[in-house]
């Protein structure tokens, strides 16, 4: 029996920041609670410009998760948080009933022409938690546990895996692990992750072999539920393992809004369009905003 359900190459886009969008896919809308997945960059941005900046925009019903491989980003939100994100850190922003944030390129990164590369994920909240108070948690790289095996280094970002337990607080069973493999090294993803039946493996760089099938960089491997799988690096490779328990309901996605309720999304659209500060407070220090799109 194959361990691969589907291979997703995603779509290359330029949103002021070159990205590859892996989720949602036409056939695979989510993997566990992960409902959105962008691979950002690598990209270098010109000094003295706003290229690559993401102006203030709103969210409801989800948590955004940022993880960088190189460069840095500056996070600001309507709760008053200002946080520089560097490689290895986890920024976990829970939108709940509503939050606004921006992500901008630090000036030193522009001036030194440092490439910015990372992953932006959205984790849908369980229906019972969609309207909780917004929250922001930052976990520095050294707070997140690591594991080592022959030729393999692992950074356990969320959940329990490979004998490690991440301190990141999640609202449903969530698995998120970064892995670096030397050429010829293998990583066993076993059925021990019983709490995370839905899993995907993204090849950030390099090339791997899974069940005698070669998979190159930029590909999201959607694994069959609960199957064990062995992954071998053909050359040095960077991988991301993600997944979790299936969501109890099927959330709707419209622009930056996630909710089990169509009416709730319509209300969020109206609140942002009308600049209702009771629903979406401004981000301190920011004067710009991304307008509501005419359509998704």
Q: What ranges do the domains of the chain cover?
A: 4-244
Please give the Cα distance from 47 to 26 (Å, whole number). 38
Low-confidence stretches of the chain (pLDDT < 70) are: 1-2, 191-194, 296
Nearest partner of 201 among 183, 187, 184, judged by Cα: 187
Predicted model pTM: 0.96
Residues 228, 209: contact at Cβ < 8 Å? no
**pLDDT for the residue numbered 228:** 86
**pLDDT for the residue numbered 192:** 59
Q: Quick one: CA dihedral 105, 110, 112, 117, positive or negative?
A: positive
Per-residue DSSP letter, 127: G
What is the chain's alpha carbon radius of gyration, rounded to the nearest angstrom?
A: 19
**pLDDT for the residue numbered 194:** 63
The CATH superfamily assigned to 4-244 is Jelly Rolls (2.60.120.10)
User: Which contacts qualify for 142-151: CB closer than 8 Å, 24 or more apart?
Assistant: 142/88, 143/167, 144/88, 144/90, 144/168, 149/185, 149/187, 150/185, 151/181, 151/182, 151/184, 151/185, 151/186, 151/233
Paired tokens of 75: 């996070």
Please give the Cα distance from 45 to 194 (Å, whole number). 42
**pLDDT for the residue numbered 296:** 61
**pLDDT for the residue numbered 226:** 77
Residues 232, 184: contact at Cβ < 8 Å? yes
Nearest partner of 133 among 174, 93, 82, judged by Cα: 93
> For the chain, give me the number of helices (H) and strands (E)?
2, 26
**pLDDT for the residue numbered 45:** 96
Residues 10, 20: contact at Cβ < 8 Å? yes
End-to-end C-alpha distance for the chain, whole angstroms:
38
Please give the Cα distance from 140 to 218 (Å, whole number). 26
Please give the Cα distance from 235 to 215 (Å, whole number). 11
Which distant-in-sequence residues (6+ apart) come within 8 Å of 195 by Cβ? Answer: 159, 160, 173, 175, 244, 245
- The angle at the Cα of 254, spanning 22 to 59, to the nearest 5 degrees, equals 90
Per-residue DSSP letter, 45: -
């Amino acid at each position: 029996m194959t361990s691969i359900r589907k291979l997703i190459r995603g779509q290359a886009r330029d949103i002021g920041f070159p990205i590859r969008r892996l989720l949602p896919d036409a056939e695979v809308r989510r993997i566990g609670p992960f409902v959105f997945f962008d691979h950002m960059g690598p990209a270098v941005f010109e000094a003295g410009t706003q290229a690559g900046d993401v102006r203030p925009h709103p969210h409801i019903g989800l948590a955004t998760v940022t993880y960088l491989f190189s460069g840095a980003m500056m996070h600001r939100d309507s709760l008053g948080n200002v946080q520089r994100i560097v490689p290895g850190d986890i920024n976990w922003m829970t939108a709940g009933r509503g939050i606004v944030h921006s992500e901008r390129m630090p000036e030193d990164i522009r001036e030194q022409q440092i490439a910015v590369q990372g992953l932006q994920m959205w984790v849908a909240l369980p229906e019972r938690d969609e309207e909780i108070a917004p929250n922001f948690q930052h976990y520095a790289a050294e707070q997140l546990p690591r594991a080592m095996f022959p030729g393999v280094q692992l950074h356990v970002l969320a959940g329990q895996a490979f004998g490690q337990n991440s301190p990141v607080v999640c609202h449903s069973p969530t698995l998120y692990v970064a892995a670096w493999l030397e050429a010829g090294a293998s990583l066993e993803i076993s059925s021990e992750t019983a709490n995370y039946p839905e899993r995907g493996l993204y090849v950030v760089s390099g090339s791997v072999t899974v069940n005698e099938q070669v998979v190159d960089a930029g590909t999201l491997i959607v694994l069959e539920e609960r199957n064990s799988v062995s992954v071998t690096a053909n050359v040095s490779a960077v991988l991301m393992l993600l997944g979790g328990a299936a969501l109890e309901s099927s959330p709707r996605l419209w622009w930056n809004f996630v909710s089990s309720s169509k009416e709730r999304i319509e209300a969020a659209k109206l609140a942002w369009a009308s600049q209702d500060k009771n629903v979406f407070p401004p981000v301190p220090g920011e004067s710009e905003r991304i307008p509501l799109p005419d359509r998704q």
